[in-house]
Structure 1
């Protein structure tokens, strides 16, 4: 059996809207918006430079409805570059592709072969003993197990299954095209090129079952290095998997322990160290960083009352490191006060009175009903994208109708503001 190499990628989500961007740093925001295009360009560059025999895309080239037809045009141009290098592409449509009507009408170059959505089918490659088996999604939510419908392996060939699957809801993703790992390994294929789950993972070897992960992180939920795989096959067996890091921006959440901080200058110094560590971890790429401040500290109240100042200081530090190297997405405060609620409750001042009122509010059915009614009305008016992806604890609590968390969180903020003003006077 011959030897060859191919690239396995998935979940490109071309022109996906980056979440968590601020227009305070417009040049960085624009770079992040173009990151999925640059990542795909880098992938095509790698395929041509390495002279791979073919490319496999395991679904979700796009990100649902295109906001601009140029999204499709850009993908076609990248596929034309591969065509000029005589590199074929084998593609299945995933749930996001199926959502887009224009995906079906887009004319792709002849080197791109798209698997049918009617039934799983087999494609072979001239001159190589390779059989690829795959099925596209006909609609967004595929709830049937597709694996039983995949063809039997071709004898004396290296068999590759291409599948877009949640594999049991792995990584918190929707469990589309559900199946089990042992079903895949028992199919008789040599390599399963999987898509849909955005974290790269090799689930089995010989036969290989592999999620390539997505090509470019798109928000703080998709941290760390992102990649495709170059698969090297020798004498009919996978000899090596090489990660191809095509991402041009890397998201990270950096923990900043401020327990030992005596003043804000100490906090700023700790934030700077965390930012520098994030930049180093990005390995020359744009670092998109969220700072998470932790620790029990007497500064808790002042920190909670000063979010804008903290963010401005962090972005000033980032600007000093170079506008092309780092972007501060958010500062998340997860510190704890030295004085807990039970201690505040016993105080005879305004802080103690407010704590007692908040305790009563949490247990007052009329107040809870009023908050639930008003907050629910506001939450229902939020755009779907915000409702789906909100990660701020209070906003998430409002959307989910978690009144207890909402009262506790709002109370913590009010207490911190009062305590900060009291300390400043």
Structure 2
């Protein structure tokens, strides 16, 4: 059997809106807005440079229905680049780009083969003795196990299964097209090209069962290097699964301990140093999108909370000082703690601490707060309710009133303690 190489990608989410850009302007913000397109363009260039034999997209090419035809036209252009050099592409639709999700359609170049959503379909590459099997999603919520209907392996071929699946809800992802790893291993295929889980992973070797991960991180929970997989096959055996990093924006979480800071200016210096070190260490020529988290126990807790907007502006100034597209600060989170204020103190702070502790166990007060806050929480936008990182707001959203009282009390105590 001939040797060959192919690219396995998925979870591209073309034109997906990236988080944290509201009100942001400038070159860095624009780079983030177009990151999914840039990453896919980079991957197609890598496919051409590597002279791969074919290209597999295992679902969620799109992020939902197109706003206009520009998203589809961009994809057609990229497939045309592959067509020019004779690289066929095999496309499977997942939950985000299921038949029912995309209302607009464009005719794709002849080098692109789309797996049917009605039943499993097999495509052959006779010159390489390859058979690819897959089934696209007809609707977003596919709860059936699709693997059972996939055909038996084609004798004498290298068999590739293409599947969009939660594989039991890995990584907290919705368990679409549920199946078990053992089913994939025992199917008789040589390689499973999986997508839907956004963290790249080789779950099994010989046969290989591989999640390629998403192509471009879109928020802080998709941090670190992102890309696709380059698969090398020699004499019917997978010899290598190599990462192809295509992301142009790389997300990173930067904890900054401020325990030893005597003034907020010291915290600003530490933040500036952390950004500079991260760019030198992790950016690798990409824009580094940073979430900064101030940590530790400090008497400055209340002051830092009160000056969070100023600290964020200082962090963004430090990033811009490295160049307009070196780093971008998505958020600065004050996660410090104040030194414990003992309820045994005989002053106003001790009285306040005792009130907070009693409020935390007052069922009537908690019920009243839960009722009043519940009305406000229900009016919040869905993305705020599901994605907030603010500890006080999250406690309110989750209905954890005792925790809400504790957080609010700690803030009040910290502010008052500054003045004592």
TM > 0.5 fold call: yes
Q: Is 1:65–1:99's contact at 8 Å kept on the other side of the alignment? A: no
What are the residue-to-residue correspondences of 1:329-348 with 2, within 5 Å? 329-338=330-339, 340-341=340-341, 343=342, 345-348=343-346
Matched-pair contact (CA < 8 Å) for 2:11–2:60: yes
* Alignment partners' CA distance in 1, 2:154 and 2:400: 54
- The alpha carbon displacement at 1:24 in A equals 4.3
Distance 1:17 1:360 in 2: 45
- CA RMSD for the aligned pairs? 1.7
Corresponding residue of 1:315:
316
* Residues in 2 aligned to 1:156 and 1:83: alpha-carbon distance in whole angstroms: 27
Aligned to 2:51: 51
Aligned-residue offset at 1:391: 2.7
Specify the SS of the correspondent of 1:39.
helix
Give 1:390 shift. 2.4
Rounded Cα–Cα distance in structure 1 between residues aligned with 2:356 and 2:334:
21
| Maintained 8 Å contact 1:215/1:227 | yes
Q: TM-score, normalised by structure 2?
A: 0.95
CA offset digits 1:62-113 (Å, max 9, x no partner)? 1123333311221122112212222111111111112764367332222111
Q: How does 1:257-272 map to 2 (within 5 A)?
A: 257-272=257-272
Q: Is the 8 A contact 2:121 2:134 kept in 1?
A: yes
Whole-Å separation in 1 of the counterparts to 2:100 and 2:397: 27
Q: Secondary structure at the match of 1:296?
A: coil
Instruction: Quote how far apart the aligned CAs of 1:197 are.
Output: 0.4
Question: In structure 2, what is the equivalent of residue 368 of structure 1?
Answer: 366
Deviation at 1:170, TM superposition (A): 0.8
Give the unaligned 5+ runs of structure 1: none
Maintained 8 Å contact 2:14/2:63? yes
Output the TM-score relative to the length of structure 1: 0.94
Whole-angstrom distance in 2 between the partners of 1:18 and 1:393: 22
Secondary structure, aligned partner of 1:224:
coil
1:297 lines up with 2:298 in the alignment: yes
The 5 A counterparts of 1:269-284 are 269-280=269-280, 281-284=282-285
1:406 equivalent in alignment to 2:407: no
Structural mapping, 1:196-211, within 5 Å: 196-211=196-211
- Return 5+ residue gaps in structure 2 as ranges: none
CA distance in 2, matches of 1:323, 1:132: 45
Is the 1:165–1:178 contact (alpha carbons within 8 Å) kept by the matching residues of 2?
A: yes
Q: Which moved more, 1:31-40 or 1:237-246?
A: 237-246
Q: Helix, strand or coil for the counterpart of 1:353? A: helix
Return closer, same or farther for 1:295/1:330 CA change in 2, 3 Å cut-off: same
Q: Which residue of 2 aligns with 1:20?
A: 20
The equivalent of 2:151 in structure 1 is 151
Alpha carbons of 1:94 and 1:23: their partners in 2 closer, same or farther (altered >3 Å)? same
Paired positions, count: 419
* SS of structure 2 residue aligned to 1:127: helix
1:383 maps to which residue?
381
**1:10-409 equivalences in 2 (<5 Å):** 10-98=10-98, 101-102=101-102, 105-280=105-280, 281-338=282-339, 340-341=340-341, 343=342, 345-409=343-407
Which stretch of the first structure deviates more once superposed, 242-251 or 25-34? Answer: 25-34
Q: In the alignment, is the contact (CA less than 8 A) between 1:171 and 1:197 conserved in 2?
A: yes
Which deviates further from its counterpart, 62-71 or 315-324?
62-71
Contact 1:22 1:29 in 2 (8 A): no
Q: Quick one: distance in 2 between partners of 1:415 and 1:62?
A: 48
Verify the 8 A CA contact 2:55 2:90 in the aligned structure 1: yes
**1:108 & 1:351 partners in 2: Cα distance?**
69
**SS state of the match for residue 375, structure 2?**
helix
Superposed CA deviations along residues 266-303 of structure 1, whole A, max 9, x for unmatched, are 32222122212321302110000011111222322322
Q: Deviations over 1:134-168 (max 9, x none)?
A: 01111111112111111111111111000111111
CA distance 1:305–1:351, shift in 2 (3 Å): farther
